[in-house]
A and B are shown apart, each in its own frame.
Chain A
Amino acid sequence: MLIRKNRNPQNNELSFNGHISVSNASLWYEDFQALKNISIEIPENQITAFIGPSGCGKSTFLKCLNRMNDLVDNCRVEGSFKIGDVDIYGKIDVNELRKNVGMVFQKPNPFPMSVYDNIAYGPRTFGITKRQELDEIVESSLRQAAMWDDLKDRLFESALGLSGGQQQRLCIARALAVKPKIILMDEPTSALDPISTGKIEELCEELKKDTTIVIVTHNMQQASRISDKTGFFLLGELVEYDNTDNIFTSPNDERTERYITGRFG
């Protein structure tokens, strides 16, 4: 989790919500242009999936949404990125941004500490120290991630002892602990078995009641099962973005058609 303690109190009034609005976004890694003029409106409290072959820019785009690309040397971003009314590349506290825009990665990455401390890490970073308050956050986060019953008796055991699927759901619970408006998921189930995958998908469905979810996936069936909107990326371009039903029954662009039916990619 990339939250530092030097938060800027001036940013407390920023009004993030779950709506993402991007226009004319481009990104370069040195001379290589990885994203080309992307414009997209991602609706609040829905699941939006990004699909496309490896190297097409979908994960790069995802990382733009909480400025993870700031950590990459010689990476340059252009265009407008707004979450709610907030220009996320403007003068804002990046920690505040990442509190509101959580992220879950392909490989589960629990911290080498107890289940409890994993969940409490974010809230503590944001100044919550009262035990009772932390207890409540840990319980509600684990309940939201549908793990409370499994883990309530193992709160002080190491998170590294959990199964892969449980670790990934713990990472989601950890992201939830700071009450984000948006959760970005970069291939969150690619390392999981079908049962754990099913649980994460159910969780996404549950979470979207009050959280926007943006998920990158290579699993076409997953995108069609769980997402409301789907975007197809190819060679740094957002080729097509539409309601998932339309993308998977009658896409407009021949390149989308060819990719999802397995004719290339």
Chain B
Amino acid sequence: MSVRKLFERELEDLKDQLVEMCRLTETMISMAITALVNRDRELGFSIAEMDKKVDEYEMQIEKQCMRILIKQQPVARDFRHVSTALKMITDIERFGDQASDIGELVYSMPGDKYIKKLNHTTEMGNLAIKMVRESVRSFIQSDIALADEVIALDDKMDELFDTIKNELVELIKKDSSNGDQAITLMMVAKYLERIGDHAVNVAEWTKYNETGVHKKI
């Protein structure tokens, strides 16, 4: 096999690992929302364990990128591909961290009845999963239009966050004893909103990978 073909295979392996890492974080976010809705403390706790695997992926992919940089000294598209992967894993690792943080909140939350419906929170959770999946898919498939869609979805995420925040403020105003749970739900919303931001970063790196221009939106 030619050196170039071997290199291309290494790049494909890198993509495969990114997809696996991303899928794991999607599962974690989904589990975090399920744990929240069902008040499943054990499920919430188990997410932290999965986060260790995400960290392992990050280390492994980082090492692989370093190896490619040293061995192949890539340039042009090849260089953008490896540097994008290196930047993306930081954001993907944060997906896992945020899911794990939500799991921990569920685990430590008192067993009171919820002070509000969780429909907006689950909507944020589903949107976060979609943004995570599509952002990484846009990179794998070199799809700038899809990256733009992910970036556009962040407005919806911010809107849901504001809705939840306003509801919680009203609930605290109405009854200060709602405060503890309101803060917890606010933190959940904030973690989900941050996942959206990291997905936007991934989409921006996809655009850099394709165009060579990195713009923060």
Secondary structure call for the B interface: helix
Of all chain B residues, the one with the shortest Cβ separation from A263 is: B4
Please tell me if the beta carbons of A249 and B212 are within 8 angstroms of each other in the complex. yes
Please tell me if the beta carbons of A261 and B77 are within 8 angstroms of each other in the complex. yes
The 7 A-B residue pairs with the shortest CB-CB distance in the complex, in nearest-first order: A250-B212, A248-B75, A260-B75, A257-B76, A261-B78, A262-B4, A261-B76
Q: In the assembled complex, how far is the CB of residue A265 from the closest CB belonging to chain B, in whole angstroms?
A: 11
Chain A residues packing against B (C-beta within 8 Å): 220-221, 224, 246-251, 256-257, 260-263
Could you pull out 27 A-B pairs where Cβ atoms are within 8 angstroms?
A220-B73, A220-B75, A221-B73, A224-B75, A249-B75, A249-B76, A249-B79, A249-B80, A249-B212, A250-B76, A250-B77, A250-B80, A250-B211, A250-B212, A251-B76, A256-B76, A257-B76, A257-B77, A260-B75, A260-B76, A261-B75, A261-B76, A261-B77, A261-B78, A262-B3, A262-B4, A262-B7
Task: Give every chain B residue within 8 A of A256 (Cβ-Cβ).
Answer: 76
Task: Give every chain B residue within 8 A of A250 (Cβ-Cβ).
Answer: 76-77, 80, 211-213
**A221–B75 CA distance with the chains assembled, in angstroms:** 9
Secondary structure call for the A interface: helix
A-B contact count (CB 8 A): 35
Please tell me if the beta carbons of B76 and A248 are within 8 angstroms of each other in the complex. yes
Q: Does B179 contact A (CB under 8 A)?
A: no
B67-88: CB near A (< 8 Å → 1, else 0) gives 0000001111111100000000
**A257–B78 CA distance with the chains assembled, in angstroms:** 9
Task: Count B-side interface residues using an 8 Å CB cutoff.
Answer: 14
**A248–B4 CA distance with the chains assembled, in angstroms:** 17
Task: Give every chain B residue within 8 A of A220 (Cβ-Cβ).
Answer: 73, 75
B1-15: CB near A (< 8 Å → 1, else 0) gives 001100100000000
Please tell me if the beta carbons of A261 and B212 are within 8 angstroms of each other in the complex. no
Task: Give every chain B residue within 8 A of A247 (Cβ-Cβ).
Answer: 76
**A250–B212 CA distance with the chains assembled, in angstroms:** 5
CB contacts under 8 Å to A, within B78-122, are 78-80
**A261–B72 CA distance with the chains assembled, in angstroms:** 10
CB contacts under 8 Å to A, within B48-72, are none
Please tell me if the beta carbons of B74 and A261 are within 8 angstroms of each other in the complex. yes
**A240–B70 CA distance with the chains assembled, in angstroms:** 27
**A256–B75 CA distance with the chains assembled, in angstroms:** 11
Task: Give every chain A residue within 8 A of B74 (Cβ-Cβ).
Answer: 261
Q: In the assembled complex, how far is the CB of residue A224 from the closest CB belonging to chain B, in whole angstroms?
A: 7
**A246–B80 CA distance with the chains assembled, in angstroms:** 12
In addition to A249-B75, A261-B74, 6 A-B residue pairs with Cβ atoms within 8 Å of each other are A221-B73, A246-B212, A250-B77, A260-B76, A261-B76, A261-B77
Q: In the assembled complex, how far is the CB of residue B158 from the closest CB belonging to chain A, in whole angstroms?
A: 31
Of all chain B residues, the one with the shortest Cβ separation from A264 is: B4
**A137–B4 CA distance with the chains assembled, in angstroms:** 49
**A142–B211 CA distance with the chains assembled, in angstroms:** 46
Of all chain A residues, the one with the shortest Cβ separation from B213 is: A250
Q: In the assembled complex, how far is the CB of residue A255 from the closest CB belonging to chain B, in whole angstroms?
A: 11
Of all chain A residues, the one with the shortest Cβ separation from B3 is: A262
Of all chain A residues, the one with the shortest Cβ separation from B79 is: A249
Task: Give every chain B residue within 8 A of A262 (Cβ-Cβ).
Answer: 3-4, 7
Task: Give every chain A residue within 8 A of B4 (Cβ-Cβ).
Answer: 262-263
Task: Give every chain B residue within 8 A of A249 (Cβ-Cβ).
Answer: 75-76, 79-80, 212
Task: Give every chain B residue within 8 A of A224 (Cβ-Cβ).
Answer: 75
Q: In the assembled complex, how far is the CB of residue B23 from the closest CB belonging to chain A, in whole angstroms?
A: 29
